[in-house]
Amino acid sequence: MKEPFWSDSNHPSAMHRRDWLRLVGLGGAAAGLGAWPTNEALPADVGEPGGFQSSILAKNKVQENRANPTIVNGRVIQPQRELAVLHRTDVLVVGGGPAGVCAAVAAKRAGADVCLVERYGHFGGLWTGGLVLLVTGHIVQGGKQVCQGIGEEILRRLDKLDGAIINRRPGVDPTVDAEAVKYVMVEMIEEAGLRVFLHSWCADVILSDNKVQGVVIESKSGRQAVLAKVVVDATGDGDVFAAAGAEFEHRSHNIGLVSRLGNLDRVDPEKAKQAPKPRLLGGPTPVPGVNWVNMLGPEEDGLDVNVLSRLEMQHRKFIWRHVQKIRSTPGYEKVYLMETAPQLGVRITRVLRGLSTVRLEDLKKGTKFPDVIGVGGASGGNHGPWQIPYGTLVPVKVDNILAAGRCISAEIRMADLVRLIPNCFVTGHAAGAAAAVAVQDGCPPRQVDVAKVQKILRQQEAYLGEPA
Ligand SMILES: Cc1cc2nc3c(=O)[nH]c(=O)nc-3n(C[C@H](O)[C@H](O)[C@H](O)COP(=O)(O)OP(=O)(O)OC[C@H]3O[C@@H](n4cnc5c(N)ncnc54)[C@H](O)[C@@H]3O)c2cc1C
């Protein structure tokens, strides 16, 4: 394998300033540094540089139309409040994970005006923020690659950057570098010309006559509205469809915390023979000497803030202490904890009740659906590709909203396949195409002409399986 772009030692901070500038597109501007503040320190530098600027933007600013919650008879009451409209769009995608990014890019390429809202400061969801680096099952038994279209495009771009280890054989899943994924996603989003709001938590929906009209976001700018003709819920947890009153199942699942270990290429093989190999060393990543370590964790409720707070702390303590054990094993003294994922590994929470459902029986029978919008895969499974019908994205009740990714309608036995990253690419891609058709034809998503969605998906190089 070629050396990754950052490396002439094993640590990303060793990336040369010139390479870094070339990478972020400032190569030509290196002398004047273009948009980069002139004496700003680059990441490898140490210490506080001078030359920062600051100005007062407002003094004693009073926010208008703001009515604070008060306590009435021991209960907190939120009064009616007018919200500023931050933006209006055709298609609003909430959640910038694997499903959301594919949905947003697909809808824009299909001609819709698209806005993407994400609670964190980066894209990729659990794939990047959760450090889930393994893309499981985009090639299924028989060597068929079922995840094509925009998901495959992301992998190809990563491959070009040496940001992924890709071996296109069945059972060999690609492993990626999270930073490369974040970079590629920004590149694709900018190329598509999407309107983006990062650091924006979708806190509510705007609903009238059972139709979603947009969402309410919370950010450092306050509480604002984004209005849309169709909303795609790609939050993974179904935050938007739940707020809109759609039916769903609330499930518990294992909640873990992924970490990365460094210096695995500096293990002393002679000394290592003195003791049994330590547990939980993880699997390789595109960064030499760095492994990612998955964690199953206990089965708990990923929507309960008490659970999330407890598990964050518990898992961090466990990982730290375990790495100290690894370091006390002869030969492994130089291994270190490079990072724990900034985001807890919540696998499944809310699952939509849709017009149709991904079912194990259909997988076993190889059912072909006239409204197929994608084909799912699984690594090492003893079955072939399984078709995903459009109805799995559409709530039974509530209009103008589609689900994408790990929260689409699926039987509990199928949830562990549906949530795999390639399958989230596929359902995200389809939701974006369907949202664009709904906008173009002025109809709710439940009434879209699925043949038109399929046509767009094929034009965008998605794989819809063999004809029935
Ligand atoms: C520990 C762990 C290990 C896993 N291992 C594997 C594996 O080996 N292989 C594999 O293929 N898959 C694996 N998965 C599954 C896979 O990572 C996820 O199912 C997949 O990332 C889901 O994609 P998504 O886009 O549906 O949701 P997510 O990746 O969860 O993305 C959702 C996005 O929405 C944003 N968001 C959420 N709520 C809001 C809100 N209210 N407002 C604004 N933004 C919001 C989030 O910040 C996030 O960016 C694993 C998952 C976990 C947790």
pLDDT at 6 over 50: no
Task: Choose one of 284, 315, 346: the last residue of a domain.
Answer: 346
Is 146 part of any domain?
Answer: yes
CA end-to-end span of the chain, whole Å?
41
Which residue range forms the structural domain that includes residue 17?
A: 1-34
Task: Choose one of 309, 329, 346: the last residue of a domain.
Answer: 346
Q: What is the DSSP letter of 42?
A: P
Percent of the chain with pLDDT over 70: 87
Q: Is the CB of 127 under 6 A from ligand 1?
A: yes
Question: Within this chain, do residues 325 and 416 fall inside the same structural domain, yes or no?
Answer: no
Question: Within this chain, do residues 243 and 367 fall inside the same structural domain, yes or no?
Answer: yes
Question: Within this chain, do residues 414 and 454 fall inside the same structural domain, yes or no?
Answer: yes
Rounded mean pLDDT, 122-148: 90
Q: How many domains does the chain have?
A: 3
Rounded mean pLDDT, 221-244: 98
For the residues of 269-294, what is the DSSP string, one character each? HHHHTTSPPPS---EE-SSTT-EEE-
Question: Within this chain, do residues 368 and 340 fall inside the same structural domain, yes or no?
Answer: no
Ligand 1 mean position, distance from CA 465 (Å): 25
pLDDT at 7 over 50: no
Is 75 part of any domain?
Answer: no
Q: Of the given ranges (52-56, 61-65, 306-310), which has the lowest mean pLDDT?
A: 61-65
pLDDT of residue 139: 78
Question: Within this chain, do residues 214 and 165 fall inside the same structural domain, yes or no?
Answer: yes
pLDDT of residue 18: 41
Asked if 223 contacts 83 with a C-beta cutoff of 8 angstroms, the reply is yes
Task: Choose one of 346, 378, 393: the last residue of a domain.
Answer: 346
Q: Could you tell me which residues come within 8 angstroms of residue 96 by beta carbon, excluding any fewer than 6 positions away?
A: 104, 116, 117, 118, 120, 122, 123, 124, 125, 185, 196, 198, 234
Structural tokens at position 435: 């949202």
CATH number at residue 162: 3.50.50.60
Is 73 part of any domain?
Answer: no
Bigger pLDDT: 67 vs 225: 225
Question: Within this chain, do residues 219 and 237 fall inside the same structural domain, yes or no?
Answer: yes
Q: 421-441 vs 450-459: helix axis angle to the nearest 10?
A: 120
Bigger pLDDT: 379 vs 343: 343
Reference 96, options 131, 126, 138; nearest CA is: 126
Is 64 part of any domain?
Answer: no
Is 205 part of any domain?
Answer: yes
Atom of ligand 1 nearest to the CA of 120: 47
Which residues pair with residue 345 across a beta bridge? Answer: 256
Question: Within this chain, do residues 286 and 384 fall inside the same structural domain, yes or no?
Answer: no
Asked if 376 contacts 417 with a C-beta cutoff of 8 angstroms, the reply is yes
What is the H or E stretch that residue 160 is in?
A: helix 149-160
Rounded mean pLDDT, 44-73: 78
Question: Within this chain, do residues 230 and 187 fall inside the same structural domain, yes or no?
Answer: yes
Question: Within this chain, do residues 144 and 112 fall inside the same structural domain, yes or no?
Answer: yes
Q: How far apart are CA 437 and CA 390, in angstroms?
A: 13
Ligand 1 mean position, distance from CA 97 (Å): 6
Q: Which residue's CA is the nearest one to ligand 1's atom 3?
A: 132
Rounded mean pLDDT, 31-53: 53
pLDDT of residue 169: 73
Question: Within this chain, do residues 282 and 168 fall inside the same structural domain, yes or no?
Answer: no
Question: Within this chain, do residues 278 and 145 fall inside the same structural domain, yes or no?
Answer: no
pLDDT of residue 384: 78
Output the CA torsion sign for 137, 143, 146, 148. Answer: positive
Rounded mean pLDDT, 419-444: 98
Length of the chain: 468
Q: Which residue's CA is the nearest one to ligand 1's atom 51?
A: 347
Is 78 part of any domain?
Answer: no
Reference 143, options 364, 377, 330; nearest CA is: 377
Question: Within this chain, do residues 229 and 375 fall inside the same structural domain, yes or no?
Answer: yes
C-beta atoms surrounding 69 within 10 Å = 11
pLDDT at 30 over 70: no
Helical H segments across 224-352, by residue range: 239-243, 269-272, 305-327
- β-strands 84-94, 114-117: how paired? parallel
Q: Which residue's CA is the nearest one to ligand 1's atom 50?
A: 132
Atom of ligand 1 nearest to the CA of 406: 26
